[in-house]
Structure 1
Amino acid sequence: MRIVPLLSLPALVLVILVLAACSPSPETPEAPPIDVSPATLAGVDLSRPIRALGNEPFWAVEIKPEGLVYSGVDRPEQRADNPGPLLQGTTARYEATTGTGKPLTVALIATTCSDGMSDRTYPLTAVVKVDGETLTGCAASISALATAGESGLVVDKD
């Protein structure tokens, strides 16, 4: 007995394609809404200017929308563009390259911090890597630092 194929291979492929085109497509899930609110970490609005600072040696990094500025006693000031924070859990990380081509990394961690020289408590701990050195200190918004007293938690009043 001889078996006769009903359809040739090219005809079979054509039938499969036609049937696939006629079948309903799976529903595409709706994309979640985009969060356009400013990022905050430990109550600090990361879109507003922030200052990280430390001592022994004395240093500071100002994080502003227009850029990062690292400075310190007996250290050259270094500037970098602000790449924006990379948020991961309770940490915001800024990874930039200074005008002299050196990496500058600032990590802000949502843990309270004491600078060891005052009675202030800052909302963020800062870890800065620059010129092969790792510096630790504290951070808060510049507006909170401007209105803070000599003791207590450094927070924005608004």
Structure 2
Amino acid sequence: MRLIHALSALGSMIVLTACDSSPQSTNVSYGCGALDVQATYSSEHVELKFGDQRVKLDAKKSASGALYSNQQRELEFWNKGSHAQLTIAGQAYPLCIDKTELPQQFSARGNEPFWLVHVNNGSASLRQPSGDRDYPQVDISKVSDTSDNTWEVKLKEDETLHISATVCQDSMSGMPYPFTAKLNRNGSTFGGCAGEPHRLITGVSWQLHASALEQAPSIQFMSDNVVFGYSGCNRFQGEYQLTGEGLSFKPLAATKMMCAPEQMDAEQAMFEALDKITHFTVGDNGNTLQLRNNEDTLLRFIKAS
């Protein structure tokens, strides 16, 4: 189900059913891909805020973590540690991660010279042309004297990886990543990017900027490579591909309604542009999305509220 319709169906308040598990923090800001979710926990319920919605849920019993569910509304929110999972109408949204914490698994990479660090639940590995190295146990700590969220991953005494929550653009492919990375090793510092690019665009509805139509065309990416949206007249869905080199769309299927000429013209222009997309960029603190053909921006979207 599309996020816009799912949120509208939820309304402003949902009351659910009962639980015995609670998170470590009272207020948590999650990033569920590009969807921002604010959770306020109490002993018996959680209030979620996402988009322009506020949703109050009572907890129910769960074998692990804390589960909040409403079968009638087809909504679930499951929390464990710094991670959570939001499901609307059977559609799992991108993994929700506490914005003050790093993902339990992530990769950081750089070019000239090439390096790759993979962190996995407290251990790490380094891959370089000069040789590989494994770190059975690493220490991850928050750096407090910075204006943004920054972490230090201590690989060993004189080797560290710094991660900051600022968008990074790969120096060779131009692909944007959600984190900026710096590897300090053997007295040298190597710059790079970290995280998964799909988290910059998935989970939220993007509306076409400066559309002249009464209802602006929109697009939504999900983490299972599914894409759907509204093209100005018809609804469409299909698949997208996101690789280390760029973004592309497989042939999209759409409904067959006929609309006013200006709607049909806007729809045709949007489908023609999507067929040419090779890259994407994000801006304005993640609130704008540009779909591009190499260096040319063909479609510009803003994050829907």
- TM bucket, shorter chain: 0.5 to 0.7
Question: Structure 2 vs 1, CA of residues 129 and 95 (structure 1 numbering), >3 Å: closer, same or farther?
Answer: same
Q: What are the residue-to-residue correspondences of 1:1-158 with 2, within 5 Å?
A: 34-35=24-25, 38=82, 39-40=98-99, 46-88=102-144, 89-90=147-148, 91-97=150-156, 103-141=158-196, 148-149=242-243, 150=246, 151-152=279-280
Q: Distance in 2 between matches of 1:142 and 1:112?
A: 10
3-state secondary structure, aligned to 2:169 = coil
Structure 2 segments unaligned to the other structure (5+ residues): 1-22, 29-81, 83-97, 200-222, 226-241, 247-278, 283-305
1:58 offset after TM fit, Å? 0.4
Q: Given the two structures, how large is their TM-score scaled by the length of structure 1?
A: 0.59
Question: Percent identity, aligned pairs only?
Answer: 25
Aligned Cα root-mean-square deviation (Å): 3.2
Q: Which has the higher helix share?
A: 1
Tell me, yes or no, if the aligned pair for 1:49 and 1:141 is still in contact at 8 Å. Answer: no
Counterparts of 1:110 and 1:73, CA distance in 2: 27
Per-residue CA deviation, residues 86-134 of structure 1 (Å, 9 max, x unaligned), is 243521111231xxxx522111112111111113111111011112221
Matches of 1:119 and 1:94, distance apart in 2 = 25
Conserved? CA contact 1:69–1:78, under 8 Å:
yes
Aligned residues: 116
Q: TM-score, normalised by structure 2?
A: 0.33
| CA shift for structure 1 position 34 | 4.5
One-letter code aligned to 1:76 = D
Structure 1 residue 59 displacement after superposition: 0.3
Q: Select the structure with the greater relative contact order (CA < 8 A; seq sep ≥ 6).
A: 1
Q: Name the structure with the higher strand share.
A: 2
Larger radius of gyration: 1
Q: Which amino acid letter does the alignment assign opposite residue 181 of structure 2?
A: A
Return the alpha-carbon distance in structure 2 between the equivalents of residues 141 and 122 of structure 1.
6
Contact 1:49 1:65 in 2 (8 A): yes
Residues 50, 142 of structure 1: 8 Å contact kept: no
Q: Which amino acid aligns with 1:50?
A: F
Contact 1:80 1:96 in 2 (8 A): no
Q: What residue ranges of structure 1 are gaps of 5+ in the alignment?
A: 1-32
Q: Contact 1:49–1:142 at 8 Å: present in 2 too? A: no
Q: State the Cα deviation string for residues 25-62 of structure 1 (Å, max 9, x = none).
A: xxxxxxxx952862426xxx623311100000000111
CA distance in 1, matches of 2:162, 2:119: 11
Q: 1:40 to 1:153 in 2, by over 3 A?
A: farther
